[in-house]
Amino acid sequence: MPPTDAWSRIELRQGDITKLDVDAIVNAANSALAPGGGVCGAIFRAAGAEQLAAACRKLGGCATGDAKITPGFSLAARHVIHTVGPVYGGGSRGEQEQLASCYRRSLEVAVENGVRSVAFPAISTGIFGYPFEPATEIALRTIAEFLGTHDALERVVLVFFGASDFASAQRIHARMSKMK
């Protein structure tokens, strides 16, 4: 299990990820890196849809489990890190590893670009259908493990739009952060 100080750098919040004052926010993207619905659509609208779409087109898409970075344009965040989560198909097609890779690759891209604070939405839990609790456990475990070996990131925020998801995430975080 990661060191306790890794868990202290993970923050949970309820709210709108597009309004956070962090160095980078993560977009739960599609493989074309095109404007979409949900959090992806909200990020494109808040950043300036045309500018962000033009920057994304230059990246040539993104594979599931990978991550790429663009400027944040009109967002408070300087950067948007785009990652493509797996579509959940029951859990037998490598979805757990792909989801963990989304978080790990996003954090690696953040560090490579001098990011000190990053905010994530709940990747793959919307239209991609990944069950919320297992997805949150994967997110927290992967982030804590990464922070346990990387000091460059000062703060990682997991942002939940709805109150019930936020409350569930708080319970999962409390349970997991106590494990040694």
Give per-residue pLDDT as tens, 64-120.
999 999 999 999 999 999 999 999 999 999 999 999 999 999 999 999 999 999 999
Mean pLDDT of 131-148: 97
Beta bridge mates, 141: none
- How many domains, the chain? 1
Q: Is the pLDDT of residue 1 over 50?
A: no
CA atoms within 13 A on the CB side of 7: 16
pLDDT digits (tens, 9 = 90+) for 2-25: 555 899 999 999 999 999 999 999
Please name which of 137, 114, 144, 102 lies closest in space to residue 11, comparing C-alpha atoms.
Answer: 144
Give percent of the chain with pLDDT exceeding 90: 94
- Give residues with Cβ within 8 angstroms of 149, minimum separation 6: none
66 is written with which tokens? 């990978």
Mean pLDDT of 16-39: 96
Residue 5 confidence (pLDDT): 84
Helix or strand or coil: residue 29?
strand
CATH of the domain at 15: 3.40.220.10
What's residue 102's pLDDT? 98
This prediction's pTM: 0.95
Distances (CA, A) of 53 to 1, 12, 101, 118: 39, 29, 24, 21
Whether the per-residue pLDDT at 179 is higher than 90: the answer is no
Residue 3, pLDDT score: 54
Among 100, 35, 18, smallest CA distance to 67 is for 100
Domain containing residue 50: 4-178
Side chain identity, residue 151: D
